[in-house]
A and B are shown apart, each in its own frame.
Chain A
C-alpha cells in the first residue's frame, strides 16, 4: 500500500463515508472541504514531490464545492503528460460534466453509489495508475 487518497467533498459525512470505505487500501487519506483547499493540497503535493510530479496520489473529487468547483481545480491542474488518477463524484452528471470529466481523463461516478461500486471504481483507477 503506497498510494495516498485525497477526498474532496463539502459534506463531512460524505468524506467520512468514502474514508471508511477506502481507508484500508491507502497509505494515507486526506480530507478536503472546498476547491481552494484542494488546490493548496495539490500544490503542496507537487512541491514535495520535487522535479517529478506526484505519482502516489488518487483523487476522489466532488463537483459542487465552495470557492472553486472540483472541475475548476482539476482543469487548472490538468497535465496530459502526467495524469493524476481521478474519480469525479456528483449527484448531477449532466452533459457538461460528462464532457469535462472525459476531457480531464477522469472517471465519473454518479451519486448515489454503493460502497462496493466506490471500492471497485477507485480500485481500478488506482491500479491503473500503479502499473
Chain B
C-alpha cells in the first residue's frame, strides 16, 4: 500500500468497502505517512457533511475555477449541455459552503393591520423545507433532486398571488395576535393543495389562514422543461393588530396590496390570470404569454402589474431569454415589486454578472431592512455564496 493506492481508494470512494486485509494495510500506511493520514481524515470529515441546496448555475463558476480560469462568461449553450450535472452538483458546493453560514432564522417581516379594517397582511417566509425539518433549518430536500432546466431560485419559493386572510373576529375582540405555519403542496399549475396547519399560536387563526392560503398562486417549479408539483412547502401567515392607523410596512404592501384601490380587484384579477396558469400546466409557455399580453392590452391592471411582470419574467426565463426576463423583472421592481429582485439577482448570476447580482441583493436587503423585515435564509445563503466566489461589496 502506498500513497497512490490510498489516494485511489479515496478518489473512488471505496473506503467503506475495503477487505479486512486492505484496511490493515491502509492503517499501516497511514501510521507512517502523515500526508495520507491528513487526506484520509479530511475526506471522512467532508463526507459527513449534510448537503443543502444551491442555486443552479453556481457550479458553472466552480467548474471554471477548477479548470483554472477566472469565472468568465460562458456561452449559454455550454451550460445547457451541462445542465443536469450543474444542477445536481449545485447541491455539493453549497453543502460545504453551508457550514460556513451563521445560524439562520426564518424570514420575518412584521405586517400590521389598521384597527378598523378587517384585513391584516400576511408576512410570508416560504422555503421548500423537508417536512420533518424545523422552521429555521435549511431547505434540505428540494435541491437534492435533479432540476435540469430550472433557472429560478430554488431555495426561495414565493407566491405570485397572495390573498390577505380575514382577521378572525374573536381574535380581534380579544386583541389577540398570532402566527400560523402551514405546509402544503404547490401543484404543477401553481395552486395550493393538501394544506395542513403545522403549528399555530392559537387555533382561532387556523381557519382564516387556510382559507387565504387556498387562494394563493405560485409559479410552479420547472424540471427538465416541465412544471412539477412541489411538496412540503411551508409558509408562515402572521396576524398582527396595530393600535393606531399606521402605514402598512410589509413586503406585500409595496407589491401586492390585498385590496387594490384602483384597477381590478383580487377576484377579477384571479379569474383573468387563471388561464395563464392552465397554459403552464399544459407546458404551453407561449400560450401563457399570450394570456398576459391580452390582460395587459385590455385591462387597467393597476397594482397587479407587478404580478404580470413577474409572470413574464418567469416565462422568459424558461425560454432562456435572460435579456427579456431581466427587463420584465426590472419592470416588476419599477412597479414597486420587491421579491423580484431576488429572481433578478439569480438571472444576473446565471449571466455571470456577479457584481450586478450582489448589488441587486444588497439593494433588496436594504429595502427589506427599511420595511423592518429580515432576510430569508435563501437570500442570506445566496449573498454568502457570492462572497465565497470572491465577490464582495468591496469590489463594487
A binds B: no
Interface residues of A (CB under 8 A from B): none
Chain B positions within 8 Å of A, measured between CB atoms, are none
